[in-house]
Structure formats: structure tokens, C-alpha cells
Structure 1
Amino acid sequence: MQNLTDQEMKWVRKVWISYWYIIGVQFVAQLFSYLFLPYDAQAVEFYFYVLLYPTLKMSLTVSLGWVVNKAMKKYSFHTLLIAGTILAILIIKLNTDIRIISALFLLPIFVSVIFYRIRLTLFSAILQLVGFLFVYITDESYRNHLSNFDVVAIPCFLGLCTLLASIIMIRGRELQEALRHTMTAKQELMIQYAVIRKQAKMDSLTNLYNQASFYEHFDIAMAYGGDRSSSFFLALIDIDNFKTINDTYGHLVGDVVLARVAKVIKETITPNDIAARYGGEEFALLLFETNFDKALKLVETIRATVFSLQHEEMAGTSVTISIGITSYEPAMSKEALFERADINLYKAKRTGKNKIVT
């Protein structure tokens, strides 16, 4: 037997609770009939043999079933259906004069449909046929109220309802499978969309943000600084003599150098910072939640680390970078901030390169 899922266990509990509701409805219906409708029974006979004793047997059936259910959870379905069958038999034997009462044998079949297991429904159907034969053989009153047609029609009706329940479950499984395929396709589309969106925002060579994405974050940073009067830092980084590298060693080597410099930048900045390939051999950084000394130390770490790298593709030589950095000040425009950082970068390039100008 396979273990039940949490969802199935939840529905098992609901069905057990519904059995208690059925017992309660049966109790109230019998009492109402005795008090307000013509009823051929004395008070003692009614209250003991019709009301209390059958209700006690039903309650005991459900209680014992619940205990077995708790003790042997892998048989929860079967315990549930057996208890439902016994409950239906007890109610039918109590109301044999009601012609339609035999329809209660459908109760366990309907319960089995909830769990979408055809074998469980077939097991339930067999239980109901056995239950019907048991009541028919052991209860003369029930037998007397059935015609020959009823004796044939009731098993046939149970069989047809079982067939219909099976068809409903098969169709339900088809719909469930179709829904699963639809959800899988939707998830795949969402993943593809996320990948495409990321690719549209990222530079494929360096795996940093591209220029368009940088400007989006730049606008957010300006709003952040303006709303909170908080400072952040803009750093522009340029690889020195990059044209010479391309001309001497080729563009493929130039791409390798770009990727390695980007890797150093990415590994040095904090998760709060933004790094982008601004264009060609130039990079732009937005540094948040830091002060001037820490921001300067971070870009110095980038500069020193890049300088320490030796590139086999360039006969073991290293490359250098120049950096211009500036801080945002309240009421400063985006253009003014970028221009100040660009001027600092230009000074670094003109005064010897491989340095930082603030």
C-alpha cells in the first residue's frame, strides 16, 4: 500500500467528520418523524430500538474505524470505505420501509471518487454488493419491501454508478495531465522569458550589466539619493592602452582581458553594488551603503588586483586600469555626477594611468 499524501489525509479526515454528520442527521430525522409524523411504535421501543441503540452502533462503527485509521494509516482508504459501508447497512436496516433507502449503498462509492483511485472504487463497489446481499439475506423486512425488479435493479444500478465514477476519474486524470502539461509549458516559457530578459540586461562577454541596464540603475540611484539625502559613489574604470592590446595580440585576447577585469570587479564589489560594462573597455560602478574611505579602498583593491594578474596570452605581462570616482551630493543632477566622474577618469589617464583620481 502506498502512503497517503498530506492532501489525501486532509480529505480522509473530512470524510470521517461527514460520517458523524450523517449519524446526527439520521438521529434528528428519526426523532422528528416520531414526534411530528404518524409513527407506529411505542415510546420505549422507539427510543431504545430505533433511536439510541442504532445510533450507538453507528457511533461505535465510526469510532472503531477512526482508531484503526490512526493506527494503520496505510489502510486509511479501506477502513474509511468499510466503515461507510457498515454505516449504510445500519441505516438501511433501520429504514427498510423507505424504498429509496438502498441508494445509501452509493455513499462509499462516492467517497472513493474523491481520491481518484479506480481500484479503490472497484473495492468499494464490491463492498456494496456484499452489503446488499447481506441485508437482503439477513433482514426479512428489507426483503419484503423489495420487488423482484428491485433485486435485479439495485446491483445493476450500483454497477452503473461504479462505471460512471470510473469514467469521471479517467476524465479527471486526463484533465489533470493536460493541466500539468500546460503548467509545465507555462513554467518553461517563464524561464525562457527570464533568461531572455536577463540576456537583454547583461553584457554577454563580461556577464556584467550592459549600458542600458546601468542607466536604469543609475536613475534608481539618483532617486534613492534624492529621497534620502544619502550619498553613493560613481566610479568609471578604463583599461589602459586597450587599443594597443587589440592591435598587438588580437581582439580575442582583448576579449579575454575584458572578461578577466570584469571578473575581478564582480568578485570585489558587494552584493549591494552595481557593476556594468559601459562601453568598449570601460566599466561603471555604483557603490551604495558605504563611505568615502571604504569606496576608495574597494576601487583600489580592483586596481591592484588587475595589475597583479599576468596574462599568458600576452607573454605573461599585466594590464593596468585607470579609475575616476566621485560621490553624489544632494541636488546634483545625473549629468553633473557622471561628468565629474568622467573628468576624474580623464585626469587619471593623462597623469600616468594605473591610478585613481577622486
Structure 2
Amino acid sequence: MNKTKRLTQTMDYKTKQARWVRKMLLLYWMIIAVHFIVQLGSYLFLDYSASPYEFYVGTLIVPTLIMSGSNLLAELAHFKFNRYSFVILFMASTVICWMIIRLNYDIRIITALCLLPIFSSILFFNRRLIWLSFVLQVVVFFLLLAVDASFRTYLSDFDIVAIPTFLIMSTFIALIIQASGRDLLVDLYKTKRAQQELMISNAIISKMSMTDGLTKLYNHLSFQNFYEKALEYAEQGAIIHLALVDIDNFKKINDTYGHQFGDKILEGISQIITEQITANDIPARYGGEEFAILMFEHTFEEAYQIVENIRREVEKMTFQEKLQLVSVTVSIGLKSYTEEMNKDKDVFFQQADDYLYQAKRSGKNKIVALNHIA
């Protein structure tokens, strides 16, 4: 069970990671689109010192194709080669960011864009991804510095030192944020687990307070609550029947064979009751050897058949005690709720109880319902 739970949690985690990868890819497409629109707008409406060919080919079309190609490669890796999707994702983000920086290095603040891959990697709570993003930014920066004379000329000596230093500092900040985030997630997980354990404990305690420990049926107090609610339904027109079931000669059985043997009988009869009633019915251990069953939405004939099945199954049941077989029987009183009982709610239970004692006084192992004795 624990192995299955861990596997499910791992699958959920991977699904969430894949969802975040998709969001990052969508963000990169938006960056590419915004850059394209801003560059085109700047050329058309601002003083842009470049020929149409230099702008449309060298500044707009080729860089956009390179950025789009890198993002398409990341999309493909995410779709078909999920194992390498993170590496290619951050490679693509590096290409996009440094392409934009290269085209707009006259804007001093634009170099801050190289922080996007580093801080994006925090989302995945993986230190190696943060270091990978850092290495990619440093490698591309020095590569541009070595091969692009105009880029190198534009940067001052201070910039050449400050940018790598800035990247290192930002990476350590990202690592601190990532570590703090992981600690927060661990604390949240522990809190959630504690809450779940508390909910389970409360549910168990609640169930224990509502059910009888021996028979696993509802206890006397729970039955009273259900009984009150059932009467409210009955006043609104619901069909309700009440059956009281008492084990015949149970005191004699306890005195003869002991209380432990009597407990076996109680468990056996409660199991029969549970098997014979429907999911809508409510069984309870009302007293020592007495059971109460509230039955809902049955015709009288159906309710009678249910208690008859219980009586018959108990009659067939035998218990082994040393070298002899012991059998037991039950007497049952069955009463249907009627409108006349609205004036006195105790009448419903009292009449079912009267029928039960009629069954016991008239020979036991029988059902008394209305004026019917069987």
C-alpha cells in the first residue's frame, strides 16, 4: 500500500512539473512575440539607425527564427524526450535571453534578462538546475565576449567583471530561495500529514463513540439520535418501520455457558442483521441482548420479510461450546409509523416494544406486527 502511495505521489509530482514546463514554454513564446512587436514598432515609429535589410533580416527575422527554433526544440524534448526536457528548456531560455540582450545591449538594464533562466529554475526545486542555468549564462556571456567585437566594445571593464559577479550573487540568492522553498514545502507536508492523521483519529473516535464495540452496530445513544431524525422524516411523509429484536433466554445462556459465549452469540446475530437489512436501514444494539432496526422506504410486507429472514437465519445458526452445539432464537416486534403518532413520539417505540413482549409471552421465536403473530 505504501509503495503504491509513493508511486502515486511521484506521478503527481511529475505531472505538476510537466505542467510548469508547459507554462515556461508558453512564457518564452510570449517573450519572443513581445520582442518581435517591440522591435518592429521601434523601427517603424522611432528613430532607428539601420537599413531595411539590416533590420528585417539581421535584427528581426533571423533572431526570431533562432529563438523560435530553440523553443520548438524544447517543445519537442518535452513531448518526446521528457528525460532531457529540463536541460533543453534552460538551454532554450538562455538562447532567447542572450539573443535579446545581444540585439539591445545599448539598453543598460537589458543584461538583467539573463537572470530569467536562473530564477525560473527555482520553480523546480532542483539545485542542479540552478547551477546549470548559471553555467549556461556565464558560458554564453564569455562566448559573446570572445566572438562578437561590437558587444565586447560596448562593455566597459567594469561590466566584464560586474556581470559574472552579478550572476554568481543571483545564483546564490536563487539557491537560498530554493532551500527556503523546500523547507516550507516540507513543513506544509508535515502539517498536512498531521491534519490528515488528526482527521483519521477523530473519525475513528467518532465512529467508536457511535458504535457498539462488540457488535459493531450503532449504540443506544446513536440510535436515539437516528430515531429523533427518523420521526422528523416520518412527519414529512416518509415510510418508516421499527423492529425490536430480543434474544430468547439469553440470561440463561449466559449463566450456563458464560458471558464470553454470550458475546459470540451477540456477534453472530449482529452479523445476520447486517447481512439481511438494506443500505438505507439503521441497525443498533439497543440494550444487553436487544437490537433495534429502523427501516426506511419499505412496504410493510418488505419490512416484515426482512425481519422474518433475520428470525429464520438466527434459528438455523448454531454455536459450538465444548462438545455440544447450542442454538438460539429471537423474538421480534415490528411496528410501522402512522400519522396518529405525531401527537406522542414515544408511542411508536412503545408499540413496537409491546409487540416484542407479546412475541415473547406467546411462545418466543416469532414476530408480532400489528395484530399478526407468526
Q: Does the TM-score normalized on the shorter chain lie above 0.5?
A: yes
State the partner residue of 1:321.
330
- 5+ unaligned residues in a row in structure 2: which ranges? 1-9, 370-374
Is 2:55 the counterpart of 1:46?
yes
Q: How much has 1:89 moved relative to structure 2?
A: 2.2
Counterpart pick for 1:159 among 158, 168, 173: 168
Counterpart pick for 1:294 among 302, 307, 324: 302
Q: 1:1-358 alignment to 2 at 5 Å? A: 5-227=14-236, 229-313=237-321, 315-333=324-342, 334-358=345-369
Contact 1:96/1:141 (8 A) holds in 2:
no
CA separation of 1:34 and 1:267: change in aligned 2, threshold 3 A: same
CA distance in 1, matches of 2:239, 2:27: 64
What is the SS of the residue equivalent to 1:234? strand
What is the SS of the residue equivalent to 2:124? coil
1:12 maps to a residue whose letter is V
Cα-to-partner distance string for 1:78-124 (whole Å, 9 max, x where unaligned) = 11111111112211221232223222221211221111111111111
CA separation of 1:18 and 1:243: change in aligned 2, threshold 3 A: same
CA separation of 1:249 and 1:139: change in aligned 2, threshold 3 A: same
TM-score, normalising length: structure 1: 0.94
What is the SS of the residue equivalent to 1:286? strand
Q: How much has 1:331 moved relative to structure 2?
A: 4.3
State the partner residue of 2:3.
none
Contact 2:238/2:296 (8 A) holds in 1:
no
CA separation of 1:64 and 1:244: change in aligned 2, threshold 3 A: closer
1:337 maps to a residue whose letter is F
CA distance in 2, matches of 1:65, 1:275: 62
CA distance in 2, matches of 1:108, 1:236: 73
CA distance in 1, matches of 2:293, 2:224: 11
1:324 maps to a residue whose letter is G
CA distance in 1, matches of 2:78, 2:244: 70
CA separation of 1:136 and 1:221: change in aligned 2, threshold 3 A: same
Which stretch shifts more, 147-156 or 32-41? 32-41
Contact 2:248/2:328 (8 A) holds in 1:
yes
Aligned length: 356
Contact 2:32/2:64 (8 A) holds in 1:
yes
1:216 maps to a residue whose letter is N
CA separation of 1:49 and 1:289: change in aligned 2, threshold 3 A: same
CA distance in 1, matches of 2:252, 2:124: 73
1:217 maps to a residue whose letter is F
